[in-house]
Structure 1
Amino acid sequence: MNHLFESETFALAATLGLFLIFEAIYQKAKTPLLNPVLMTIICLIVILKLSGVQYGTYQANTRMIHFMLGPSVVALGVLLYEQLQTIGKNAVAILSATFLGSVMGVVSVILIGKLFGAEEDLIISMVPKSVTTPIAMAVSAQNGGIPSMTAVFVIIVGVLGASVGPLVVPKVFKTAIAKGLAMGSCAHGIGTAQAIQMGMVEGAISGLSIGLMGVFTTLVTPGILALFY
Structure 2
Amino acid sequence: MADFVQLWVYLSTTPLFGLTATLVTYLLVQAGHERVGRAAWANPVLWSVVVIGCVLLATKTPYPTYFAGAQFVHVLLGPAVVALGWPLWLRRHEMRRRGVALVIAALAGGSAAAASAVAMGLAFGMPADVVRSLAPKSVTAPVAMGIAEQIGGVPALAAVFAVLTGMAGALSARWLFNALGFTDWAVRGFALGTTSHGIGAARALQVNDEAGAYAGIALGLQVVLAALLMPLVFRLIAG
Shared fold per TM-score greater than 0.5: yes
2:149 maps to what in 1? 141
Which structure's CA Rg is the greater one? 2
Distance 1:90-1:42 versus aligned 2 partners, 3 A rule: same
Q: CA deviation at 1:224?
A: 4.5
Q: Per-residue deviation at 1:197?
A: 1.0
Question: Is the 2:110–2:195 Cα contact (8 Å) retained in structure 1?
Answer: no
Displacement, 1:2?
Answer: 6.0
Q: Which residue of 2 aligns with 1:91?
A: 99
Looking at structure 2, the residues matched to 2 and 211 of structure 1 have their Cα atoms a distance apart, in angstroms, of 43
Change (3 A) 1:67 1:111: closer
- Map of 1:42-121 to 2, 5 A cutoff? 42-121=50-129
In the alignment, the residues of structure 2 paired with residue 165 and residue 100 of structure 1 have an alpha-carbon distance, to the nearest angstrom, of 19
Q: 1:216 is matched with which residue: 219, 222, 225?
A: 225
Cα RMSD after superposing both structures: 2.2
| Alignment match, 2:4 | none
Distance 1:111 1:39, change over 3 A: same
Whether 1:155 and 2:163 are equivalent positions in the alignment is yes
User: Is residue 126 of structure 1 aligned with residue 138 of structure 2?
Assistant: no
Aligned-pair CA distance for 1:28: 3.2
Partners of 1:100 and 1:21 lie apart in 2 by 39
Q: Deviations over 1:34-66 (max 9, x none)?
A: 211111110100101110112222222233312
Report the CA distance shift for 1:147/1:15 in structure 2 as closer, same or farther (over 3 A): closer
Unmatched tracts of structure 2, length 5 or more: 1-7
**Amino acid aligned to 1:183:** L
Q: Is the 8 A contact 2:190 2:215 kept in 1?
A: yes
Structure 1's unaligned 5+ residue stretches are none
Letter in 2 for 1:26: H
Structure 1, 56-65 or 99-108: larger mean CA deviation: 56-65
- Residue in 2 aligned with 1:194? 203
Contact 2:147–2:227 (CA<8 Å) still a contact in 1? Answer: yes
**Structure 1 residue 222: Cα displacement:** 4.1
Displaced runs of 4+ in structure 1, greater than 6 A?
A: none
Residues 48 and 198 of structure 1: CA distance in aligned 2, closer, same or farther (over 3 Å)? same
Q: TM-score by structure 2 length? A: 0.85
Of stretches 55-64 and 166-175 in structure 1, the one that deviates more from structure 2 is 166-175
Q: Please, which moves more after superposition, 111-120 or 218-227?
A: 218-227
Indicate how the Cα distance of structure 1 residues 8 and 147 shifts in structure 2: closer, same or farther if over 3 A, else same: closer
Aligned residue type for 1:191 = G
- Residue 214 of structure 1 deviates from its aligned partner by 1.7
In the alignment, what sits opposite 1:4? 11
Q: CA deviation at 1:194?
A: 0.4
Q: Deviations over 1:70-115 (max 9, x none)?
A: 3322322322210112212222221111000111112112222222
1:10 Cα offset (Å): 5.1
* 1:12-31 map, 5 Å: 12-30=19-37, 31=39
State the match for 1:165 in structure 2: 173
Aligned 8 A contact 2:148 2:158 in 1:
yes
Judging changes above 3 Å, is the alpha-carbon distance between structure 1 residues 2 and 109 closer, same or farther for their aligned structure 2 residues?
farther
Q: Number of matched residues?
A: 229
Percent pairwise identity: 32
Partner Cα separation in structure 1 for residue 177 and residue 238 of structure 2: 31
Deviations 1:15-36 (A, max 9, x none): 2222222223223334311211
CA distance in 2, matches of 1:209, 1:195: 12
